[in-house]
Amino acid sequence: MNAFIEELKWRGLFSDMTPGTEEQLDKEMTKAYIGFDPTADSLHIGSLIQIKILAHFQQHGHQPIALVGGATGMIGDPSGKSAERNLLSEETLLYYVDCLKNQLSRFLEFDGEGDNKAILVNNYDWMKNFTFLDFAKNIGKHITVNYMMAKDSVKKRFSGDSGVDGMSFTEFTYQLVQGYDFLHLYRESKCTLQMGGSDQWGNITTGTELIRRIGGGKAYALTCPLITKADGTKFGKTEGGNIWLDAERTSPYQFYQYWLNTSDEDAEKYIKIFTFLQKEEIEALITEHKEAPHQRALQNKLADEITTMAHSAEELGKAKKASAILFGKSTTEDLAELDERTLLQVFEGVPQTEITKVQLEETANVTDLLSDVTNSIVFSSKGEARRMIKGGGVSINKQKVGNADDEVNFDLLQGKYLLAQKGKKNYYLISVV
């Protein structure tokens, strides 16, 4: 078996391929592409599956092409969709394309000396000057409507199985435009393989058919399964929406937490799909996890590897420090290093209150601060505050309060916050405005 195909299979990244694909991969260095539609200014973790396939492809000596769909993004792919996508302006789409280019460069090797360095293309570059009449005459005539209607992504929409009847002509043409991308890359770059999710099979094989009918050549298709969570819900989604690769949309802390909170069943699957760890190490991790599930070895390794890959080792360190704060394993210095957004994310849901800078300056001692001044949010009375401070169970900014009459002399976190803690698990965030 071809080494690349074998790796995809044991990692759970293989669904189907056209006859002859393995032989092509064994014969020579092959060029393959995967398309990414710019529907936002960031890719999300669902895109990591396709990125990983391209990365494995490159590691096995082949040349990956990442296609950013500046043109197809204007149309919208009906595959797996129950409703038509909102169309975006050219200006917005081109901005999204630039954002996606920057993100892809973190995962694929675009530089270097090797012949198989990754290539980045934008189909808007070759579609923008293509007139409708030219496309209809030179491309459209080679694919029948019957052929296009037979695709599952189209049939489901027309039958109403996907929740809506029909689709616009715009969406209907998507598979033909994507097929032309494959033909273009075949002609211009000698690309002979397109890869993607199993829902893309119809679009990809339309491309192989165009190459056969117009280009007189042979091209191939390879797909991976669509990933779901063990509970049946969509992978990459939370109650708050998508988990994005862009740090401005999903912070490294939130990103890290998503993987850390993965179920045991999903973690065993994801460690194969989303990391570059080798088979032996993964199998050892799975064994270790099963012997002591409470240690969450799989989740910890998974979160470490993917956060480092998507962001950096430095951001992983910050995310782990932020996570440790809630479990009492951090210092005042760790707390002070958190940026405001991460601080608020870590303590999302804890009781919060506001006081003014004047109130803070006029507060006589920590007992008053943690009772009357903060509207009894931490302690209902001064007596209760004094008793717990005396027992050593109160901290401000991770600094233990030694005496009930201590002055309020704490550096504000991010210049505006105090973090009060009573006992091990009860936190309170005080905003100074």
pLDDT in tens, 289-337: 999 999 999 999 999 999 999 999 999 998 998 888 877 677 888 888 8
Domain membership of residue 188 (yes or no) is yes
Which pair of structure tokens corresponds to residue 378?
A: 């931490």
**In terms of residue numbers, what domain contains 414?**
352-432
pLDDT block averages, 10 residues each, the chain of length 433: 96 97 97 90 91 96 93 61 56 83 86 86 88 83 77 69 67 84 95 95 92 93 91 71 89 93 95 96 96 96 96 92 78 84 87 92 92 92 92 91 89 92 90 92
CA distance 181 to 353: 56
- Give the end of a domain, one of 163, 190, 224: 224
Question: Is there a single domain that holds both residue 321 and residue 422?
Answer: no
What local confidence, expressed as pLDDT, does residue 32 receive?
98
229 in a domain, yes or no? no
Tokens coding 251: 């912070």
Exposed, middle or buried, 352 (CB in 10 Å: 0-12/13-18/19+)? middle
CB 249 within 8 A of CB 345: no
Beta-carbon-side half-sphere exposure of residue 361 (alpha carbons within 13 Å): 4
Does 422 lie in the same domain as 298? no
Rg (CA), the chain: 27
In order, the DSSP letters of 41-55 are: SS-BTTHHHHHHHHH
Residues 6+ apart with CB under 8 A from 35: 67, 68, 69, 72, 123, 178, 181, 194, 196
CATH of the domain at 389: 3.10.290.10
Task: Indicate yes or no: pTM above 0.75.
Answer: yes
- Residue 238 falls in which region: left (phi positive, over 0), alpha (psi -120 to 50) or beta: beta
Last residue in a domain, options 165, 197, 224: 224
Q: Are residues 62 and 193 in the same domain?
A: yes
**Domain tally for the chain?**
3
Residue 98 sits in the same domain as residue 150: yes
157 and 251 together in one domain? no
For residues 51 and 199, state if they share a domain.
yes
- Do 300 and 372 lie in a common domain? no
SS3 state at 120: strand
- Within 8 A by CB and 6+ apart from 341, the residues are 251
